Chain A
């Protein structure tokens, strides 16, 4: 996905520099890495010089005695070079993987602590790319880029000095040839980065098409729009093709250029060098060594461009990471421990807005829920019901007024004790790719098997026992897929199992069929008897769980009363909850609800079984 976040003002190397504490535990490893690399460069440069000695000494000057010692020297150098590479890489592997892991850990911990307000602004995909792509960019730079940046510059300097020493006129030729390469590399990398970004963006767009074609497959099928979708995809694919070709063209020109310059330099060096050998100013061995050394410069020069580009990318990545590490959680834990909560929940003149510059979403909310009362929240879509409920566990903080539990402002309570006292079941139930048990015991890891079974019973979620591996079956994205109703019931079991003093149910029963809903409500009624509850409701049947109903309109509580009172006296309420406006159901059919439900039960008995079968069939 292309990242739509505004790119933060690059503070260049500063943020990267700030990550240095992560290197501190590996300081000795780093020292060894640099040490072995520097020695390694020296050794690799010495090998051509030994070749020179072999050609000049034993061969040209007929000093054959020197051949074996020189050979042994070269062997020692060769083995040492390999050994040093091994040491550097071995030591480096632990340092960089440790660095990456530590950074990832810290990011994760920070992200978990950041409030909902942060997470609604950031898509998880963008966070993910920070934890994966950006971290490997930094790891690559710290482990490879930074090292070779230093080493290559060192090698460049040393070799140039050596070349100048060997025969300075040729040394100057080489020096002159290096300039255009470095200049071009820098320019190229910039353009290459730009075009690579464009390719990435277009890949992202194409991925969006692909995602939609997969997720919306049934809609496409239902309307027979295959050709339509295909042509859209094709446009994107062709555009990507064009940009990719541009990228290929740019790269092919650059790489060719990089190869042709050293070769042209070689032509000049060979010509001038041969002439110099001819008039005796240089030995043959020196010329051979010169050519070998010169060719050893190609890689350090070539790589300079992409190492610098890598450094730039690492800086950008560091910016993106420190951006998160620098974000302070706006919801801080209080100090008071809430012990043995009774669940007396009060909203006192509460108002709430998402951003300082946006209008109030909730205004002047006053509610008093003594322990054990259940309040139903009713309101049109967008009235602020869900927002109101999420103020209680401090997923968001009020922007005016206060919320209290047992007389404590919830901001004074420790987050742990507050959230232990309040449990919520949300409208879109989140199940993690873990076992059913792990999912259900989320709020109370120490729950006994009996507790778990009881909670499943209450939520009508005992189907979980019949999954292929019982409660050990993995559910969620990476596990067995469950129906919407099944997921809701597990989420409800989770909330019930937490045995909270305050239970928040946000339209938790919407995906259940009438029969199951009735059974769940029946059981919930018992749970709610001893618990303070807030129930967001869209259906009359759910409202009936509550002692009191509050009507939420445009961010205000306009009415509080019993369901029947409000139904009788408030037209706005009737519009929301009565299916046929103004059409009262005839008294004749109004019977005792429980009797009707028990008959419905008889009719629909076995519904659970068939649902089971669907699950297994999948």
Chain B
């Protein structure tokens, strides 16, 4: 097991203070160590599939709102038409409205035109507000739907998925990824639509105003496309590096602060500072690159815009001199060109948002494409009264192919029996518990509850009958009573108190500032590990299942509390089937029956008293334990 001989490379003595030997610099490079690449990174082929998924997801999200979207399109067309009409009307005002007045005639034409500008301005304003409101509502509705859907899907997926996927990634899917999509819906959508319509609308209007001037203006178009394309490809790279480097800064920062006790106790500060400077500087460099990219891009667009304006001005002036073009048209051109170049700068601003939103969409669609490993039965079995007999027949299980944890296990636990599972880490105890709770399905054989295969039971029926308590004993935000009631949400206050009383948790709960209504604070940080465990027990007791599984559930109790729980367990376990896994033999000894497991096989099976005298493995463990008490 140990391989120290294979690593003879002595790291010569170096410390930051007195030497600058090679290992120190090597350590400076290698401090992070090696790990699997981020599992969110996918090979090209898989990402193609995902893109397909995400396109489908986008379609599914938008389809119910098809009508609303068409209305929006109509509104946005009206709005843009009104907006783009204003410079055109200014041109009419200058060319047709002013000459009659100059020649001393009526101002009627002018007034009509000004009235038209007024109407256009008000129409535009109204349409704009309606558009903003409606896109806002649509976006939020889509977002709400997406949140609900992803959340529910995560909760439906099986524990094996969560084991692999890890809670951190679940959280970031539902928070930062959804937020990115929110940001896109909020700013990007409006910006993109307006920018595109302005671009197209302006081009059309310019062409109708004056073809030759318009063609000059449109010459700038390919140049702009080139610049934007360059920017997009560069920006993708730079943006990604910014994300990566900031992630390193955050990880290092959070770990230094959460582990500050170890940092200070082991004088880690100088080394940490060194590392932090590294990651901080890399983040700075990435930021600098991204700022500089913009520093090149923005003025480039401006330059193209200004040169175009000058070209129009000179050529237009020349044309106007020859009376080929009116002053009004020239003015309108200058006004339109302003509008034409502004949104281009916006598009580039939104680009990063779009990019991360589509990446987020891909990840979310990847999650939604996952199927639960432990599916609900299509036709659930009807269940009568439960007695709680659990049978494992020929059960095989492996986490990885070729490494069986259970090579074929037969075990019959009569209703009402308390069974203790004993064995070393990895002997398969927890696996059995998880199979009985149907966190996993066996790869071979069957697990039966009162003769019904667990796979045929509806989820609700199963969970009402089988409950597992682990050492995780997670507490949710809320009061102590809320947390106990989690076992049976419809339970009355008295029932909650009764459950706590039976477990022996009533004393300490009553001593809390607000008794049962005391908030447990974040993850129950207000309570000690032992107290959290007692609350978890009360919760399980309130749920009143026929089969109770305790996986290391007493491990974080100190001895006095454990003694309390053991007394309670005698009551609780009296009339139900129980699987008990415990390191501490004091808990095991209260069982009706003990099985000793080794490599997934039962090597000893019997009543605890009998096994102690049989002189086998259990007896040895027992002796060691008794001695440790002496």
Q: Mark B74-94, 1 if CB is under 8 A from A, else 0.
A: 000000000000100010011
**Cβ 8 A contact of A259, one of B97, B113, B125, B268:** B125
Q: A104-B280, A217-B159, A270-B93 are in contact. Are A278 and B136 (CB under 8 A)?
A: no
* Closest beta carbon of chain B to A397's beta carbon, Å: 13
Let me know if A71 and B327 touch, CB within 8 A: no
Q: A127-B257, A260-B125, A263-B124 are in contact. Are A393 and B265 (CB under 8 A)?
A: yes
Contacts of B202 in A (CB 8 A): none
Q: Mark B474-518, 1 if CB is under 8 A from A, else 0.
A: 101100000000110100000000000000000000000000000
Contacts of B155 in A (CB 8 A): 213, 217, 220, 226, 229-230
A96 within 8 Å of B by Cβ? yes
A275 within 8 Å of B by Cβ? yes
**Cβ 8 A contact of A67, one of B255, B321, B467, B561:** B321
Contacts of A291 in B (CB 8 A): 90, 331, 335
- Interface members, chain A 476-490 (any B CB < 8 Å): 476-481, 483, 485
Contacts of B60 in A (CB 8 A): none
Contacts of A256 in B (CB 8 A): 125-126, 128-129, 132
Contacts of A220 in B (CB 8 A): 155
Q: A89-B299, A513-B583 are in contact. Are A450 and B318 (CB under 8 A)?
A: no
Interface-located stretch among B7-15, B50-58, B222-230, B408-416: B7-15
A160 within 8 Å of B by Cβ? no
- Interface members, chain B 117-143 (any A CB < 8 Å): 117-118, 120-122, 124-126, 128-129, 132-133, 136-137, 140-141, 143
Interface of B is mostly: helix
* Bound: A235/B516 CA distance, A: 24
* Bound: A164/B620 CA distance, A: 102
Contacts of B167 in A (CB 8 A): 211, 214-215, 217
A13 within 8 Å of B by Cβ? no
Let me know if B3 and A465 touch, CB within 8 A: yes
B295 within 8 Å of A by Cβ? yes
The 10 closest A-B pairs by CB, nearest first: A224-B463, A435-B33, A610-B426, A78-B306, A278-B101, A248-B136, A93-B291, A252-B132, A89-B295, A474-B33
* Bound: A389/B261 CA distance, A: 12
Contacts of B47 in A (CB 8 A): none
**Cβ 8 A contact of A71, one of B151, B174, B262, B313:** B313
Let me know if A97 and B558 touch, CB within 8 A: no
Let me know if A433 and B255 touch, CB within 8 A: yes
B254 within 8 Å of A by Cβ? yes
Contacts of A485 in B (CB 8 A): 425
Let me know if B424 and A513 touch, CB within 8 A: yes
- Interface members, chain A 58-93 (any B CB < 8 Å): 58-60, 62, 64, 67-68, 70-71, 74-75, 77-79, 81-83, 85-86, 89-90, 92-93
Contacts of B351 in A (CB 8 A): none
Query: What's the A-B contact tally at a CB cutoff of 8 Å?
Result: 567
Let me know if A295 and B335 touch, CB within 8 A: yes
Q: List 20 A-B contacts (CB under 8 A).
A: A60-B327, A64-B321, A82-B302, A101-B283, A105-B280, A112-B260, A112-B269, A214-B170, A216-B474, A220-B155, A222-B470, A267-B117, A274-B110, A277-B98, A278-B98, A433-B32, A434-B33, A462-B3, A479-B35, A610-B424
* Bound: A539/B555 CA distance, A: 12
Let me know if A101 and B251 touch, CB within 8 A: no
Which A residue sits closest to B15, measured CB to CB? Answer: A446
* Bound: A437/B335 CA distance, A: 66
Q: A101-B284, A284-B94, A538-B559 are in contact. Are A116 and B261 (CB under 8 A)?
A: yes
Contacts of B140 in A (CB 8 A): 241, 244-245, 248
B378 within 8 Å of A by Cβ? no
Let me know if A131 and B253 touch, CB within 8 A: yes
* Closest beta carbon of chain A to B102's beta carbon, Å: 5
Number of interface residues of A (CB under 8 A): 208
Let me know if A613 and B262 touch, CB within 8 A: no
Contacts of B24 in A (CB 8 A): 445-446
Q: Mark A464-475, 1 if CB is under 8 A from B, else 0.
A: 011011111111
- Interface members, chain A 273-327 (any B CB < 8 Å): 274-275, 277-280, 284, 287-288, 291-292, 295
- Interface members, chain A 404-426 (any B CB < 8 Å): 415-416, 419-420, 422-424, 426
B560 within 8 Å of A by Cβ? yes
Which A residue sits closest to B566, measured CB to CB? Answer: A579
B156 within 8 Å of A by Cβ? yes
* Bound: A491/B261 CA distance, A: 13
Let me know if B462 and A284 touch, CB within 8 A: no
A527 within 8 Å of B by Cβ? no
* Bound: A369/B334 CA distance, A: 89
Which A residue sits closest to B9, measured CB to CB? Answer: A449
* Bound: A473/B101 CA distance, A: 85
Contacts of A75 in B (CB 8 A): 306-307, 310
B236 within 8 Å of A by Cβ? no
* Closest beta carbon of chain A to B593's beta carbon, Å: 20
Interface-located stretch among B65-73, B354-362, B381-389, B622-630: B622-630
Let me know if B559 and A579 touch, CB within 8 A: yes
* Closest beta carbon of chain A to B264's beta carbon, Å: 6
Q: Mark B257-279, 1 if CB is under 8 A from A, else 0.
A: 11111111111110111001100
* Bound: A256/B341 CA distance, A: 21
Contacts of B287 in A (CB 8 A): 93, 97, 100
Let me know if A514 and B558 touch, CB within 8 A: no
A575 within 8 Å of B by Cβ? yes
Q: Mark B31-46, 1 if CB is under 8 A from A, else 0.
A: 1111110000000000
**Cβ 8 A contact of A264, one of B118, B265, B561:** B118
A591 within 8 Å of B by Cβ? yes
* Closest beta carbon of chain B to A444's beta carbon, Å: 8
- Interface members, chain A 238-261 (any B CB < 8 Å): 238, 241, 244-245, 248-249, 251-253, 255-257, 259-260
**Cβ 8 A contact of A613, one of B179, B403, B459:** B403
**Cβ 8 A contact of A54, one of B171, B269, B313, B623:** B313
**Cβ 8 A contact of A47, one of B263, B309, B473:** B309
Contacts of B294 in A (CB 8 A): 89
Contacts of A579 in B (CB 8 A): 559, 562-563, 584, 586, 629
Which A residue sits closest to B101, measured CB to CB? Answer: A278
* Closest beta carbon of chain B to A225's beta carbon, Å: 6
Let me know if A111 and B2 touch, CB within 8 A: no
Let me know if B254 and A589 touch, CB within 8 A: no
Let me know if A90 and B94 touch, CB within 8 A: no
Contacts of A60 in B (CB 8 A): 327
* Bound: A417/B96 CA distance, A: 90
Q: A82-B299, A97-B291 are in contact. Are A448 and B12 (CB under 8 A)?
A: yes
Let me know if B292 and A274 touch, CB within 8 A: no
* Closest beta carbon of chain B to A586's beta carbon, Å: 8
Q: Mark A99-115, 1 if CB is under 8 A from B, else 0.
A: 01100110011011101
Contacts of B630 in A (CB 8 A): 540, 585, 590
Let me know if A251 and B132 touch, CB within 8 A: yes
Contacts of A121 in B (CB 8 A): none
* Bound: A93/B17 CA distance, A: 36
Q: Mark B539-581, 1 if CB is under 8 A from A, else 0.
A: 1000100000000000110111111000000000000000000
**Cβ 8 A contact of A108, one of B19, B171, B253, B559:** B253
* Closest beta carbon of chain B to A448's beta carbon, Å: 5
Q: Mark A486-519, 1 if CB is under 8 A from B, else 0.
A: 0000010010001000000000001101110010
Contacts of B253 in A (CB 8 A): 108, 127-128, 131
B214 within 8 Å of A by Cβ? no
* Bound: A472/B550 CA distance, A: 37
* Bound: A579/B489 CA distance, A: 35
Contacts of B556 in A (CB 8 A): 510
Which B residue sits closest to A107, measured CB to CB? Answer: B253
B246 within 8 Å of A by Cβ? yes
Contacts of B373 in A (CB 8 A): none
Let me know if A85 and B30 touch, CB within 8 A: no
Contacts of B472 in A (CB 8 A): 216, 218-219
* Bound: A266/B85 CA distance, A: 13
